[in-house]
Amino acid sequence: MLDLPGLLEPGDLLVVNDIRVHHARLRARRESGGNVEVLLAGGDEALVRPSRRLREGERLVCGPGHVVLHSRLPDGRWRVACEPDVDTLTSAAGELPLPPYFGRAPTPEDEVRYQTVYARHGGQLRAAAAPTAGLHLTPRIFAALADRGIRRASLTLEVGLGTFRPLGAEQIARGALHSERFDVPAETWEAVRSAKRVIAVGTTVARALESATGPGPGATDLFIREGYTFKRVDALLTNFHLPRSSLLMLVCAFGGRERVLDAYRHAVSSDYRFYSYGDAMLLTR
């Protein structure tokens, strides 16, 4: 990653997702007894497990308040409300939602490592997962980029659980994905419009920039796959993603299927690291 400044050009614009991962995993219990895990997934959705015996209208005890189950959705998801509010519950009873393949509880080290160095509180936008491409960037790298004349801008996209879930037949048939909320500041929009090249740090940034029609808040269910014509992104810094994911399909749409799969074959043969704490690559068009 220390080579990144030399791979970019003066006048390029690096766009990052400054969302902060909040303590979205809540340990709750039913008033009738029994433990329940609630993973807040952005907006008013949550993944609740075990889900089978839960009832609409049920109030789960959580720290100093409750998680209210309003309506059941597919795949173990629910529409929920937090009482008295989200921040009160996550501050008192939440923990960092490490991906399940970690197979362990978060440590104090993860509280730092699983946030980008530029993460900030996103207001009403709360991520259930990190925008992992940005985990590679450090103050030292940003200083080298600035010395080379490469600018930086930020947007905020609420990374939900759907980003990382395997694609279902319904999503492919509809040609649309889960919806994620975002906000593009006016200064970022103007920087993108005037940049020599736009370098998206991660698929979340690419999806937000390709979905936005101007500055301000919005939401996207854009499904980027082969055949899509990119309008604003000229290069993409991204981690190595799982098969059957919308993330890998976006990367293949940007870089070309065979070119990307060749890179993946090289990564596997060279023992590159995959997943959230894994390696990254820079793709240009």
DSSP letters spanning 239-262 = E---TTBHHHHHHHHHH-HHHHHH
pLDDT of 103 higher than 90: no
Please tell me the distance from the alpha carbon of residue 211 to that of residue 228, in angstroms, as a whole number.
12
Answer yes or no: is 130 within a domain. Answer: yes
Task: Return the closest-CA partner of residue 254 out of 220, 184, 206.
Answer: 206
Answer yes or no: is 200 within a domain. Answer: yes
Query: What is the percent of the chain where pLDDT is above 90?
Result: 75
pLDDT of 283 higher than 90: yes
Domain containing 43 equals 25-95
**Mean of the pLDDT values across residues 214-242?**
94
Answer yes or no: is 100 within a domain. Answer: no
Domain boundary among 70, 95, 120: 95
Its pTM stands at: 0.91
pLDDT of 165 higher than 70: no
Task: Return the closest-CA partner of residue 202 out of 114, 151, 130.
Answer: 130
75 pLDDT band (50/70/90 cuts)? confident
Q: Give the CATH number of the domain where residue 154 resides.
A: 3.40.1780.10
26 pLDDT band (50/70/90 cuts)? very high
Answer yes or no: is 147 within a domain. Answer: yes
Residue 16 is predicted with a pLDDT of 98
Count of the separate structural domains present in the chain: 2
Domain boundary among 35, 65, 95: 95
pLDDT of 177 higher than 80: no
Question: Do 131 and 223 have their domain in common?
Answer: yes
Task: Return the closest-CA partner of residue 81 out of 93, 90, 68.
Answer: 68
Question: Do 161 and 35 have their domain in common?
Answer: no
Mean of pLDDT over the chain: 91
Q: Residue type for 12, please?
A: D
pLDDT of 259 higher than 70: yes
Answer yes or no: is 233 within a domain. Answer: yes
Question: Do 275 and 180 have their domain in common?
Answer: yes
Cα-flanking dihedrals φ and ψ of residue 170, to 5°?
Answer: -65, -40
